[in-house]
A and B are shown apart, each in its own frame.
Chain A
């Protein structure tokens, strides 16, 4: 992901913006496209977006900072999102995520020292009858316990 992402240069960014600009309310689709391409929103992006959409930079910044999904810094090679919501809590989700973070030696939103894994909180994945649930690089996993989670983390090189 972040490792293989192209260097953000003004031209590619402009192309990404241009591809979505025809939409009604194009800002979120533009941010998603850029986020997908680079794994985060590069620092150079907001000014370019503001310019192309003819809106203020502060407005673009305001939108980026409002939404939990948009990272300002690159993530690790893999992103693990662990559900913190009530249904997962009811089957031991809180203890599980604490154990995972302790094992990796990081806090929520942080990346392991070897750059392999970033762990982020997520509030429900719609897998509430098969919790505790998580999502690894966009793929869902349910009925997790520490053993199963350890195997997942090992596969990711954490």
Chain B
């Protein structure tokens, strides 16, 4: 009997390891031959721990599976959800970046290759001079938040003259509501390794670093093993896949600072310094890690590169909306019924994501607001639900898509408290380099507390403060903290009138 069981942290967090143990024990007790394959997540987090049983060559989904469900699962009497890939949440997706995630054993290089892995790298090795053009033609933009065209960044690094260049993968994923980086690293780490190798060949870099956040010990362990396997197989090393190109990867771990996700802070951290933001220019592409030309890209940007080379830039660019080309792994999170990772072409309206795919709130109460793009992203009220998911479209609506995380709140959400939290978070995480962020955030917390205590006049002061932070901060931590704060005030003004205490 062949059973696939998710090994993703989202599955472990709800008991998958106990289920794995129970499966093995129960099979042994019955003398049943069990082929238990641990896989990444299919992204349907509300079904975790998700077990799949292969029936006539088709994988059928069962979940959430509890230890006490194990006998019935082996008997074939447990109620399930039918073929996994026919579950609407899964069937509606266009999985390019996440095509293998949840399907294969994450550390099985042979399985990776059998499903298209390394095809892109081979294509890049055959025509290294075309790498930058292909990425440009795909329309791929950075998935870390800023949305900068990846091909243009690579072109700058490729054109820079230096004795050493670096590829740095930003796996600091600190935004609340996001887990795509973690999921791909835990579920298909070779895709990231392949993407980084292609980047190295394209720009002439021989060394790559992955900066993992320390909050992801499982992902770090998986990636370290994957790098070792890739090295042993000749995917990394002095001659990548037997070519004349050298490229190797080292995994580094951060130390719990959100701001180290900002690329220049990250570079300082990698160099062993305080994670303070560097003024730009110089661009990291010209003077990055240890002063050398450096590509800094998000995990998803890099892990998407292989499929672009495998299927062609045009195939990728054919998906999407306006200047947002390709697919985006939406991370539907918070108080939501069907939470998880949903990869789809850009362009879906926000409301369709929250209600159509996410099924509304987990609590069953009405949706009040959705924060899109992490702690620096705006709160959208239901009246903004027609906004299509794209970089320009969200910008136009006073928000940002960031790393594509969506956090759903029901009608019990306290918008003033959420605005206060945004300022507090900025105060806790500020690197301290610039005054608007370091001091402004502390004053922001105080001002919001004044409003909560009944001083409605403080709202004008807060608006002014937000403007200063937006215009005067060195990076988007101080610069974008006004997004959640001001959007909450704009869309839910009643909660900032200072009347709250009196009304209660």
Give the B-binding residues of A (Cβ under 8 A).
23-29, 31-32, 59, 62-63, 66-70, 81, 85-91, 122-131, 133, 135, 138-143
Contact = CB atoms under 8 A, between A and B. Distances in A.
Contact of A128 (B272, B333, B429): B333
B496 interface: no
B195 interface: no
Nearest to A53: B272
B274 interface: yes
A143 B418 CA distance: 21
14 contacts: A25-B270, A28-B269, A67-B256, A67-B257, A90-B335, A90-B410, A90-B413, A122-B256, A125-B9, A126-B215, A129-B45, A129-B331, A135-B215, A140-B13
B331 A85 contact: no
A123 B176 contact: yes
A85 B376 CA distance: 12
Contacts of B179: 126-129
Given A123-B429, A127-B179, A85 B375 contact: yes
A43 B10 CA distance: 37
Contact of B215 (A28, A125, A130, A142): A125
B252 interface: yes
Interface stretch (B229-237, B238-246, B303-311, B401-409): B401-409
B407 A128 contact: yes
A142 B334 contact: no
A70 to B, nearest CB: 6
B214 interface: yes
B76 to A, nearest CB: 27
A89 B331 contact: no
A63 B428 CA distance: 16
B407 A90 contact: yes
B331 A122 contact: no
B255 A32 contact: yes
A89 B368 CA distance: 14
B290 interface: yes
Contacts of B13: 127, 130, 133, 140-143
Given A69-B255, A90-B409, 7 more contacts: A25-B270, A29-B252, A31-B255, A86-B418, A86-B421, A89-B418, A140-B9
A16 to B, nearest CB: 15
Nearest to A91: B335
B256 A69 contact: yes
Contacts of A125: 9, 215-216
Contacts of B258: 123
Contacts of B191: none
Interface string B345-387: 0000000000000000011000000010001000000000000
B407 A63 contact: no
Interface in B1-35: 9-10, 12-14
A108 to B, nearest CB: 11
Contacts of A81: 215
Given A87-B333, A89-B418, A129 B339 contact: yes
Pick the most buried of B13, B14, B409, B425: most chain A CB atoms within 10 A of its CB: B13
